[in-house]
Structure formats: structure tokens, C-alpha cells
Copies of this chain bind each other. A is one copy, B any other.
Amino acid sequence: MINDSIFKKHPLILVTNDDGIYAKGINELVNMIQDLGDICVVAPDSPRSGQSSAITSELPLRIKCISNQNEYKAFKSNGTPVDCIKLSINQILNHRPDLIVSGINHGSNAGASIIYSGTMGAVLEGCLIGIPSIGFSLCSHDPEADFSPCREIVRKTCKLILEKGLPQNVCLNVNIPTGSPIKGTRVCRQAKGYWTEEYEHRKDTHEQDYYWLTGHFVNLEPENKETDEWALANGYISIVPCTSDQTAYSAIPDITHLIEKK
């Protein structure tokens, strides 16, 4: 352990993100929940958007303490969001956190975005090791976005989950729309859809080809009120219960039949 006794109070709340420790979103998040427990921030030293559940196994990881104030402790790492959770549990904290919160992400993680999201990668890691975990995302990529619409739901869900916990293997993906007023909160499912990538093809200064990722989300069910994308498009906060178990349970009988018939 790097620090042997710095985290004494309960509850202990571990905070991370994928936009990096200097992003506005994570600092706003800490401000919103600072009175709810002992806060430890462990986040990437630079933006790690789109890192999903990636882990670093072929490079050495570093941890640097950047704030050791009374209010809270903060560490940055050269790893991914999932590395930050693993390093926290195994090297930084001297007891298990009671809650992991990730974000507030600059940009939506609704629909299929969850699969690529480093913010949600950290949350799924927490879920996998049995710690109640919540990801928060604001539907704006503006680095200077106004995060005040997040405050009420962030505090409400953190307090609620600290008190009640979450079912086993379940974590939360909370997305907050921009614009006001917020109409309410909807517990929903991930909208079916995918990102269509129209890479931009360019030539570098040596006349060599390269490609930049661009693209947009294609929502296959824009009118479906059970989905997170519908909630957000209609001014509601979306809360999707998620799991790190990727088994398609409903397909087991069909696939068994298919494989065994042959």
C-alpha cells in the first residue's frame, strides 16, 4: 500500500473518469459529493476516452499523488480507467471502497456508446469485483460545460446506493440531458443501435494515407420509450442497470440446439 492510514472515514468513495484528472467533469463530481464520505480520486493523467475495459499489461504503470489536502486525496496514473480501479484496490487504498463513481463524462454514454466508454469500463470493473458502482455522463462534449443539471441526481443516487447498495452484478449508467428543465428520471434499457463510422480519409505531408474516426449513432428504435436514448431526447435523465456478465442467456437453448444437432 502506498498510504497506510490516510483513509479512515466511512463511507469511502473512489472517484475516477476517462477524460483525465484535469477535466472539469471529475472536479465537479468531487465537489458535488465531497460531504458524503471520504473521497479518493484515482484517475488517468490524460484523456482516455474510448478505452472501454482496456487494461495495461505490457507497460509499467505509475501512480503520482497530486493532492493530499484535508478535503480529499487525489492520484493520477498513466493507466486506463480500469487500471485506475485495479491500482486503487490493490495499491492505494487500505480498505475496499463503499462506492465507486466514474465521470462526470463529457458526452453521452447512452445506447451503444457504453461498449466503448472508459467511464463505464471503470464502472463495470467495480461491478465485477462486487463494489456498488455508478457512471455519470452529461450529454455535452464541451470542456467547459455547465454540470449543474447533474448535481441533484448525482447526490440522490450516491446517497441512495451508499444506503441501499445494488443487486449483485449490477451497476448503473446514468446519463443527464443538457437544456432545462429536466422532466424527471427514467429507469430504462440500452437503446439498440450502432455507430456508423465515416472515417475521414486524408493524405499526410508525405502523401501517405491516414484515417480519422468520425461518425454518428444510428438509433434503431427512436420511438421506443423503454430506451435510454428516448429518455434523453425527451428531456429525462436515463438510468440503465448494467451488468458485466455478457452471456446472452435467452440464446442458450437455440445455440445448444444448433450445435448439438450437427
Contact = CB atoms under 8 A, between A and B. Distances in A.
A208 B61 CA distance: 11
Contacts of A164: 258
Interface residues of A, number: 81
B262 A60 contact: no
Contact of A86 (B210, B213, B243): B213
A146 interface: no
Nearest to A212: B60
Main secondary structure of the interface of A (DSSP, over half): mixed
Given A54-B54, A55-B50, A90 B209 contact: no
Interface centre among A51, A87, A188 (most CB of B within 10 A): A51
A241 B248 contact: yes
Nearest to A77: B211
Given A52-B54, A63-B211, A188-B252, 5 more contacts: A60-B204, A86-B199, A128-B194, A240-B247, A241-B251
Contacts of A114: 246
Contacts of A96: none
Contacts of A12: none
Given A61-B199, A201-B91, A187 B128 contact: no
Given A56-B50, A115-B128, A247-B241, A197 B61 contact: no
Nearest to A210: B60
